[in-house]
Chain A
Amino acid sequence: MFALMAFNWDRTEMEDRAFVVTIGIDKGEDAPFEVTMSILDAETMEGGEEAPRVLRHATGDCPASAMGQIGATISRSVYFGHTKAIIIGKGVLNDADKMQKTVDALSRNNDINMRTVVMATDKRAAEIMEAKPEAHQMLGIYLAGFYSKANTNAAALVVKADLEQLAADFRNSGTTIIPKVTLEGEGDDAEIKIGGVALLKNQSLAGFIDEEQMAGYLWIKENAQGLQLTADSATIKIERSKPKIRFIEENGRLICNIKVDVTARLEAGRNSEEAARNFELKIKSEMQETFRVFQKKYTADGFGLQEILRKHHPNLYKKYAKNWDRTFAQMRFTTDIELKIRH
């Protein structure tokens, strides 16, 4: 039995692990990186007003070394097996090199689940982590829960990014979108707010896009199931929406055509031809607006249109892929909506 106790290389008791729930990565004041970790405090977990967590900060030349630093300051061994969310501060988002290092360090760590939620913030990540979400005492669990719920109900306008997708996008084009988390209010009353996205181009921040301008994204890329729309006096709830993206070549430039099949149910008001047309127009304008922001304001292909072109139109891809920025900037965008409203 004592031999059992002697031969242990990887055995660590549960209470000797420091469960890191949330990781925040910021630009440090003196060093390139400052990492904040929210660690489960098991002793205060049972009941109590206090959130069962402690925050630790460390700085370093790269995120991995900073994470190691934290390990040296606590008596337990840092464990990332239950990390639920990663928050990246503005300082890091702005710097392509720092972003690259962050994604590298995080995806190289085998303990961190590649499905961990990644969020961007326009403040410092540490600030966000100090705030206390009302729904759940642990921010990481709150964020992860938010997204698992959002999977089936897109009523809250969210786009999900996880570590795996981020790493893949960085490897492919360097253009990606990360959902934004921020604080509303001041001081102790500050509340967590999720909405809008950070658009990254060439591995660094191109800009933050707010919720209204992102409305079209759902129609273009995802399923808008559960979304409620109101126009005139009628309200509908979307049951299913399915986008279909096609490319047509015309006079040496590409036309991107998006056809969305939408099925919706009438929730309130009266159904009429006119209402249906209004809804269609509304969806169309949302899509055009989002596209405009991506194309004109940032010239960043956050929709992954390049990949779609590669998959479905290999010949056009060969022709246009070389100078994708210009192609994307010149692309024309047409939309078709087929809306079916059921009672």
Chain B
Amino acid sequence: MKIYHNLDEIIAYFDNAFKNSGDIVSRKFHIGSSLSRFGFIIYIDGMIDRQVVEDRVLTQMLASAQRLPEHFFNEPISLFDTLKEGGMTTADLKEEEDLEKALNAILTGDAAIFVDGACKAIIVSAKGFPNRGVNEASIEVVVQGSNEAFSDVMRINTALLRKRVRDVNLKIEQSIVGRRTQTNVALCYLDDVVRPVVLDEVKKRLENIDIDGILDAGVLEELIEEDISSPFPQCQITERPDKAASGILEGRIAILVDNSPTAILVPCTMNSLFQASDDYSQGWEIMSFVRILRFGAAFFALALPGLYIAITTFHPNMLPTVLAFKMAAARENIPLPAVMEVIMMEFAFELLREAGLRLPRPIGSSIGIIGGIIVGEAAVQAGLVSPIVVIIVALTGIASFAIPNYALVSGFRITKFLIIGLSAVLGLLGFWIALLILLIHLASLKSFGLPYMFPFAAGEINGFSDFKDTLFRAPIVFMKKRPIYANPENCDRQHTGKLGNWHKKE
């Protein structure tokens, strides 16, 4: 819709649009000394930096208009241009001819200035809405390395990425998703490294979305996932700019959603969910060890309760004799069957986890202590559960915290119950059937066309070089090729020469 010629029509339009909106600030004012021309400014209070608008824009514009010769006021177009070019001391200006777009701009926190008869608007971008600034990462904490986290404001987030990747090829493609929320979504990628197929696929899926609103990156994630029936995350969500930047360097696409302090990295494989960002900032020997530990932790978090049930209630002959006797003695006089015991304790643990999450932080930690230690101890003392089950459940819980990705842990938490259930019916047979169901599911899963279990399956499509960053983290100098995410035509990561003791060899 074109901007009306008549200023009063424009004012009427906005009055209608912002009916019952108390936070709208608008004013009609005279331009210049002659009282024949009017201007109109409108913005939303609180979303804008008032000082910029009042001092740098409005004051300056009116002052310069005073100096203009009379004839300018008869030609609204040239008056508009002169005011735009000479009247304002801010760089972030835009012309807009469409009234609806101007309305959207106001909604995102810009100020719009109209001049009677010009059929155009000046959009002054002086966003000044409240934000938290750059906070410390609280979920993906690292021992060594930057602790910056994404903020709620997309502009800050893109700046955090730019700050890390100073390459003209870093593209930040913005689009708007959400009929009502009009949320800005940005695709950040390296133009020459990203796989075009994946980029097209991501764009296609974003365009496909038609929804009232996106309030968080998690919502968007679910809308662009391949298989929504899967409990496993097919996109990697991170709150760390350095992780997003390293993903971008690998050729992945980081999707930023306005008002959401996280980035979505696509495509993703299960292996990349096991990688933490300080894996690369510490020695490869210790980090390889930690990686193995993490995969072991994943197995524990997933399978330990099921394995316990299968072995103790079906095949105690697999246990060493003395241990078996000890366990039998520990279960003496416990009223519940082992399955119920484990399920009960698992629920109690999940409950604690959820309660600890929702409670205010100072109380949260004490819930952990009360729940974990006191209730567990009391349950054992009362003879409700055997101490071994407490150990098993606690180990499962601890193991689940050793995995760096929260969404992945959630997947394991759910599937754990499938394994418990089948183990309780068919023992080890059930245990393996449940594991195989899981493996079949994982093998069939893809993330934006990339096999989820890569490189453990289909590793050869990148010449097995991705194995260098799986169970082991090879020294960085060995990772010559970019991972699978990168465009195969541009997959050289580094040409670092010989490392080592420089002065040793003359």
Contacts and interface: CB of A to CB of B under 8 A. Distances in A.
Q: A contacts B directly in the complex (CB < 8 Å)? A: yes
Interface of A: 1, 4-5, 7-8, 10-15, 17, 19, 40, 42-43, 45-46, 79, 81-82, 84, 111, 113, 141, 144
B316 A42 contact: no
Contacts of B325: 19, 40, 42, 45, 82
Given A4-B421, A84-B321, A13 B332 contact: no
Interface stretch (B8-16, B113-121, B133-141, B334-342): B334-342
Contacts of B315: 81
Contacts of A10: 314, 427
A43 B313 contact: no
B234 to A, nearest CB: 30
B316 A17 contact: yes
A1 B343 contact: yes
B313 A14 contact: yes
A14 B343 CA distance: 17
B328 A11 contact: no
B316 A81 contact: yes
Nearest to B337: A13
Contact of B324 (A4, A46, A82): A82
B317 interface: yes
A7 B425 contact: yes
A11 B331 contact: no
B424 interface: yes
Contacts of B321: 82, 84, 141, 144
Contacts of B334: 15
Interface string B292-315: 000000000000000000001111
15 contacts: A4-B425, A5-B340, A11-B337, A11-B339, A13-B331, A14-B331, A14-B338, A17-B316, A17-B328, A19-B316, A42-B329, A45-B325, A81-B315, A111-B317, A144-B321
B317 A81 contact: yes
Contacts of B338: 13-14
B425 A14 contact: no
Contacts of B313: 11-14
B327 A14 contact: yes
A8 B332 contact: no
Nearest to A113: B317
A8 B426 CA distance: 8
Contacts of A45: 325-326, 329
Interface residues of B, number: 27
A14 B317 contact: no
A86 to B, nearest CB: 15
A19 B425 CA distance: 22
Nearest to A21: B321
Contacts of B326: 45
A14 B424 CA distance: 13
Contacts of B332: 15, 42-43
Nearest to A8: B425
A113 B324 CA distance: 15
Contacts of A42: 325, 328-329, 332
Q: Is the interface of B mostly helix, strand, loop or mixed?
A: helix
A46 to B, nearest CB: 6
Interface string B344-379: 000000000000000000000000000000000000
Given A11-B339, A13-B331, 7 more contacts: A4-B424, A13-B313, A14-B316, A40-B325, A43-B329, A81-B324, A82-B317
B399 to A, nearest CB: 23
Given A5-B337, A82-B317, A111-B317, A19 B329 contact: no
A307 to B, nearest CB: 31
Contacts of A4: 339, 421, 424-425
Contacts of A79: 316
Nearest to A40: B325
Contacts of A15: 328, 331-334
A48 to B, nearest CB: 12
A126 B314 CA distance: 30
Given A43-B332, A82-B324, A141-B321, A11 B316 contact: no
B324 A11 contact: no
Contact of B316 (A5, A46, A82): A82
A12 B338 CA distance: 9
A8 B424 contact: yes
Which 6 pairs, one residue from A and one from B, show the smallest C-beta to C-beta distance?
A81-B317, A42-B329, A45-B329, A15-B331, A14-B328, A42-B328
B348 to A, nearest CB: 15
Contacts of B343: 1
A141 B337 CA distance: 28
A113 B315 CA distance: 13
Contacts of B421: 4
Contacts of A11: 313-314, 337, 339, 424-425, 427
B427 A40 contact: no
Interface string B89-107: 0000000000000000000
Contacts of A8: 424-425
B381 to A, nearest CB: 15
B339 A19 contact: no
A82 B321 CA distance: 6
Nearest to B326: A45
A43 B334 CA distance: 12
A291 to B, nearest CB: 38
A43 B383 CA distance: 14
Nearest to B318: A81
Contacts of B327: 14
Contacts of A12: 313-314
B496 to A, nearest CB: 52
Contacts of A144: 321
A150 B32 CA distance: 111
A24 B322 CA distance: 21
